A = this chain, B = another copy of it.
Amino acid sequence: MHVVITGAGGFLGRKLARRIAEEGRVGAHRVTAMTLADLAAPPVPPAAFAVETLAADIAEACACARLIRPDTGLVVHLAAVVSAAAEADFALGWRVNLDGTRALLEACRERAEAPRFVFTSSVATFSGGQGALIRDDTRPVPANSYGAQKAAGELLVHDWTRRGFVDGVSLRLPTIVIRPGRPNRAASSFASSILREPLIGEEALLPVAEDFALWIASPRAAVDWLLHAASMNGAALGLDRGINPPGLTVTVGEMLDALERAGGAEARGRVRRVADPEVAAIVGAWPARFDATRARALGFREAETIAQTIAVFLTDDLEETRALRHAA
């Protein structure tokens, strides 16, 4: 089976590619080739099968046509313009996040057999903020363009699946904590920064109050969910191909307590509260509580605790994150 990962240069894409390269299979399927696509050619992990890269804009139909081969059995579509960037450039966000998803689905439609298509949707498809509890059948009322684009992308994946053109699963990912590397233009970037920066001895800015709750997941849980979505029985999902995976509801204060336990009062002291109305307006609308009943019934694993998340970051990502800082 040939595997395609878009957005493969991002932190989740790199971790996923590495896992697939290490394991050599996804579920019951042996991987025989993999294509990693991103705007710039992504890094290639060591693998026992052929791995090629493609530097391309996913919103170009011709780029998507080159990605999908007759033996493509799995597409993991991670490529996206992130939330604050999609808010800053309205046309770019719709072009990449909706048109790009459609171009990729259209390329899959040319295939004789429907490949599994794993689409990363987002908590940002919902709003309601701190008071909301999101059920599996709650309607998306996005409070930013990124969320609207992801919700619309889900509807494409849904209909292309119903028509038999792909075998789709949309995963509404929580805020991923701790992202390795540097802060990015996701409005939720602070949620990683307030743990990551103090752990490498740097200062972090906190744009919300300590009682602010978030719905989060560790990179390792997210990769596990992606691999489960890539290999699960699609028929078990029925008509509804969207999944709220079992993330973790946690307050900023709880995150800082865990930081203090791992890195001491000194680490916690590196987090400085600085109001950022623009970020607060975006993340303030995102709900922090989900019931995720369906995901658990479908075998998606539980999220990790903050303490586990910090421990895994220190083992897996600290070195790379430090190296990136020194390179910058």
Q: Is A181 an interface residue (CB 8 A)?
A: no
Q: Is A64 an interface residue (CB 8 A)?
A: no
A140 to B90, CA, bound (A): 24
Known contacts A137-B138, A162-B143; decide if A239 and B148 are in contact (CB<8 Å).
no
Q: Range of interface residues on chain A?
A: 20 to 34
Interface string of A205-244 (1 = CB under 8 A from B): 0000000000000000000000000000000000110100
Which residue, A139, A143, A162, has most C-beta atoms of chain B within 10 A?
Answer: A139
Mostly, the A contact residues are mixed
A145 to B151, CA, bound (A): 16
Known contacts A90-B163, A127-B239; decide if A155 and B152 are in contact (CB<8 Å).
yes
Chain B contacts of A127 at CB under 8 A? 239
Interface string of A135-153 (1 = CB under 8 A from B): 0011111111100110110
A90 to B151, CA, bound (A): 20
Known contacts A152-B152, A163-B90, A239-B127; decide if A158 and B142 are in contact (CB<8 Å).
yes
Q: Is A159 an interface residue (CB 8 A)?
A: yes
Interface string of A103-145 (1 = CB under 8 A from B): 0000000000000000000000001000000000111111111
A127 to B143, CA, bound (A): 25
Least Cβ–Cβ distance between A139 and chain B, in angstroms: 4
A281 to B292, CA, bound (A): 29
Least Cβ–Cβ distance between A164 and chain B, in angstroms: 11
A239 to B140, CA, bound (A): 11
A-B contact pairs, 30 of them (CB 8 A): A90-B163, A137-B138, A137-B139, A137-B141, A138-B139, A139-B139, A139-B140, A140-B155, A141-B158, A141-B239, A142-B155, A142-B158, A142-B159, A143-B162, A143-B239, A144-B162, A145-B159, A145-B162, A145-B163, A148-B155, A148-B156, A148-B158, A148-B159, A148-B162, A149-B159, A151-B155, A152-B152, A152-B155, A152-B156, A155-B155
